[in-house]
Structures are given as C-alpha cells and as structure tokens.
A and B are shown apart, each in its own frame.
Chain A
Amino acid sequence: MSLLSLFSVSLTLNNHTILNDVSFDVAQGEVIGLIGPNGSGKTTLFNLLSGFLKPTSGSILFKDENITNVIPSKRARLGFGRVFQHFGIFRDMTLEENVRVALEALPRDKRKELGNMDELVDATLDMALLKPYAKKKAGSLSGGQMRLLEIARTLTSGKELFLLDEPTAGVSPKMTHQVADMISKLKQQGKTVLIIEHDLPFIAQICDRVIVLDVGKVVLSGNPTEVRDSEELKEIYFG
C-alpha cells in the first residue's frame, strides 16, 4: 500500500511553471532519494508536500486521504516530519527545549503513546550524541551537531514520513557518517523517508529508489545503481 501518492501535481508561480505533472507513489518503509540540478524543483516539491505551498493542479494523498488543502501544521500532526536545508532548530533555546517543543506539539494521544516526556527528551539527545550539552543553547552547536539534533528530534517525535532536505549540507565528513547511520535507523524502524541530496554515493548507500527531477518534471526513476549509470542522468547534469 502507498503511504504517499502524488497525482499530476503542477505548480505555476507568476506564469512560471515550477513543477509540471509530477506523479509518483511512495510505499510504506521506502527510502527515496530525490535528485536533480539546482532549480529543478526538489525543495519546492518538499514545500508542496509539507503544505507550505499549494499545487496549481493535481492532488496529494497520504494514507489514501486527500491532503492537498491541509495546512502545514496539521500535516505535521498527521505524521509529516521535515528537516530543512538551513538547520531547522531554535538557536536561542536549549537542546532540551528544542526536543521538548517538538514533543509538546504532537496531538495528545500520540504524546501519551510515546511515553514519559523527560525520558524521551533524554533518549533523543542520547541518540544524537548530544546529551552532555542538554542545557546549552542550540546555536552553540556545530553544523553537524545541529543536523543530528534536528534529525533525532524528528525521529523521536513519532513522525511517519520524513522529508530530509540535504541532510549532509554543512556537515563534516565524519558527521556525514553519523547522519547516514541515523537515516539507516529510520529505515530499520520501517519509517518512510524522502531525501533531497546532491551526494550521489550517499544516496546510493541509503536509498531504495531514486527519482530524478529536471525543470520541474520527473525524468527518471529506478534503483540507485540503474539511475547512477544511466545516460539520461549524465545528460541532465553535464549536458
């Protein structure tokens, strides 16, 4: 069964077509890499999925329910977790508060399901290897640590679909491995993940399927090895 389905989704802004007839299904537990040159519409597609933009035409289904017009905060409560390209953390809040605020935003029944909040906050920081810094301001962390905090927070807040926008951007090579480990943990837990990434070896390492976008259209889809070796991909990136 598909967890997420896009049917002929298009977006036009100021007479400029940003996304053109995008359709694909995402199965429960699948890890999908979304690649394409700059300006191909990857982040716009994430903005459509998380509800910050509304498609001009087409529809988006989540668990067979049409969510095309559902507001972003409600989508988050339905189970959409987003990791932003430019560190979606609250820099003037402590690490502990950063996790707590995410847990407190969950619907009450989901919060109860997850168990004791203090323990969950501890477990999240532990997972991100950041427990010793629990009382420090998040703004004092390195880029990699911020990314780990953001992913761990999304991971423990009971989300079902993860939209990770360039999770290794601004992260040191050592930390990139930790980010990859964390995404693997998501996969092991049966979570569904969509990742925007420019690092093809990273994508090949963790994704089940890769979708290639170019000028707002899906031009290629398949397993990472097939896509990496395809002539179309070389054509898109190198002309």
Chain B
Amino acid sequence: MQFLANGLIAGSLAALIAGGLALVYGVLGVFNLALGQMVLIGGYATWWLYQVVELPFIISVFGGMAIGALVAWISFEIFVKPFYKRHVFLPLVTTIALSMILDGIILLLFKERPRSILPSMKRMMEFGGVRISTEQISLILFTLVLLVCFAYILHSTAFGRRIRAVVQGEHTAISLGICAPSLHCFLFIMSGVLAACGGIFLGIDQNITPTLAFPITIKAYAAIIAGGKGNFWGAIFCAYLIAFIEQYAIGIHWFGSFYIPAGYQQVVALLFIITFLLFRPYGLFSSASRRA
C-alpha cells in the first residue's frame, strides 16, 4: 500500500508538470526542453522568498508562481516566439540554450546545496499502514482540484473550446476569428505556472538541487510521449502510471532478496520513452493528430 501512496504523490507532481507541457505541445507544437529548469525556478524562488526574504508562506508560494509565470513569459518572447513558426526543430535548439542559461543562473544564485522550503520535521499521519505527511496530502488534493478545474475549463467554457479548436485545427480556428498567437503565449505562461507549482511542491516535500532539472524533464516527456503527444488527459494518466511503476519497481523485492536501488527509478521513464517511440509512437490515447 505504501508504494501506491508514494506513486500518488510522485504522480501528482509529475501530472502538474506534464499537463502544462502537453497543452503547450498540443497548441504550439513546441517541445520545451527548459521545463525542468522552470520547475526548479518556482521552487527556488519560493524558498528564497520564504527562507531568505522571510515573507509569509502563502505570499512566498504566490510569489514563486508569479516568478514562474514571468520566466515563462520572457522565455516565450525570446526563445520560442521568434522561432516556432519557422521550423519545428528550432524551439528544441533554443530551449536547450535556455535550459543551459537557466542552469547557470540557478547555480549562480542558489549554489549546489540542497534547499528545502519547509526544512522542519513533517507532520506524518498513518492510515492503514500507509505513512503520509500533511504536505503530501495537500499536494495530492491540490493536483486533483486543479485537474477538475482544467477539465471544467477545457470542456465546458468558451475559453476551453478555443484551446481545443486551436489544438485540432489552428488554421480553421484562426479563420473563425480566434486569435491563436495570444492563446499560445497564455498557454506557455500557464505551463510555466504549473511547472512552478511542481517546483514548489518538490521544495516542500523534499529538497531541491540544481541536478533535478534533467530527471524532471525526462519524466514529463515520457508522460507526454506515452500519453499521445499533445493529449492533455493522456499525459496526466501516463504521469501517474509512470510514477506508480517507478514506485512499484523500487518498492518490492525481486527474486527473493534483490531490490532495485532508488537511484534507478529514472530508468522507468526512459524505458517508457524508448518503448513508445519504438512500438507506439503516437502514444496510448492519441491518433496521429494532436488532441486536447
């Protein structure tokens, strides 16, 4: 049971990040390879506001989200907007450059030391043999609430219909009067905010270090490749699925007493990417086209 709870926690974190990324890919067709760094920036910014500037916790969290939004907006204007209409591969190159720049800034500002937003002991609870902290319960609940909100916005509001229209046929949507470029910018910023939320939860639940960016990016990409590139709900489902498999793989004894060291859990995400690219490149849920 404990690995199920762990999977739910890790899956909630991955779902936040992968969901935003799936929307961006679905609408813009852009793979943002600086996503992991955007996650870290949200976490580090909140840590700095709470631990260094000593602002109240809630204000620090909103501050972290706002900084995440700002970084995403600047990144979009400089590293994505001038390139993504010219060639599909250009944003791949420019966001790699962005990830290197952000890595440098993170190292320069926050050093290599692990940082925790709430370094004090967590309040642990126990339900039927499962140990879970109140912060982890809030992460799971927050993600669920956010997903319900997203479901409502995407499927029951005019704004959501516009997003889905642009995903399914950008030229048609534009010819109906939908201003796709402003939607692109808004969604990129939204994915930055979701990534920042992921970073904030990571910083609350565990420690954040600059080396976490790459594994976070890989896990999010594994979820969107397996879920069907651009399929929002597919990415969310696969984020949870990968997290459960990871936790299961390291949580049980294999062949008697052998167990897989926790450091190898990233391999699951890489195996997902390889398996899906080889045998089902369009993902679990999507056809060849992008969907929302």
Q: Which A residues form the contact surface with B (CB < 8 A)?
A: 50, 52, 71-74, 76-77, 80-82, 84, 88-93, 97, 100-102, 104-107, 157
Contact = CB atoms under 8 A, between A and B. Distances in A.
A104 B177 CA distance: 9
Interface residues of B, number: 18
Contact of B162 (A77, A91, A101): A101
B206 interface: no
Given A72-B174, A84-B172, A92 B180 contact: no
B175 A76 contact: yes
Contacts of A106: 177
B114 interface: no
Nearest to A50: B175
Contact of B168 (A52, A82, A84, A90): A90
Given A101-B162, A104-B158, A104-B162, A76 B176 contact: yes
A89 B172 contact: yes
Contact of B176 (A91, A97, A101): A101
Given A73-B177, A73-B179, A106-B177, A92 B162 contact: no
A111 B170 CA distance: 22
Interface of B: 158, 161-162, 164-165, 168-169, 171-180, 291
A235 B262 CA distance: 76
A89 B169 contact: yes
B169 A100 contact: no
Contacts of B165: 90, 93, 101
Given A52-B171, A88-B171, A89-B169, A157 B176 contact: yes
Q: Give the 10 A-B CB pairs with smallest separation, nearest first.
A: A88-B172, A76-B177, A105-B177, A82-B175, A104-B158, A90-B168, A101-B161, A73-B179, A77-B177, A105-B176
Contacts of B169: 88-90
Nearest to B286: A92
Nearest to B161: A101
A89 B162 CA distance: 13
A92 B177 contact: no
Contacts of A76: 174-177
21 contacts: A52-B171, A72-B174, A72-B175, A73-B177, A73-B178, A74-B177, A76-B176, A81-B175, A88-B169, A89-B169, A89-B172, A90-B172, A92-B164, A93-B161, A93-B165, A93-B168, A101-B158, A102-B177, A104-B158, A106-B177, A107-B177
Contacts of B162: 101, 104-105
B168 A92 contact: yes
Residue among B162, B175, B291 with the most chain A CB within 10 A? B175
A84 B174 CA distance: 12
Contacts of B168: 90-93
Given A89-B169, A101-B178, 13 more contacts: A74-B179, A76-B176, A77-B177, A84-B171, A88-B172, A89-B172, A90-B172, A92-B164, A97-B164, A100-B161, A101-B164, A102-B176, A105-B173
Nearest to B292: A92
Nearest to A77: B177
Contacts of B179: 71, 73-74
B161 A80 contact: no
Among B164, B178, B180, the one with the most A-chain Cβ atoms within 10 Å of its Cβ is: B178
Contact of B164 (A72, A93, A102, A157): A93
A230 B158 CA distance: 51
A16 to B, nearest CB: 19
B81 to A, nearest CB: 15
Nearest to B162: A101
Contacts of A82: 175
A91 B290 CA distance: 11
Contacts of A90: 164-165, 168-169, 172-173
Max chain A Cβ within 10 angstroms of own Cβ: one of B168, B172, B179, B180:
B172
Contacts of A52: 171, 174
Contacts of A84: 171-172, 175
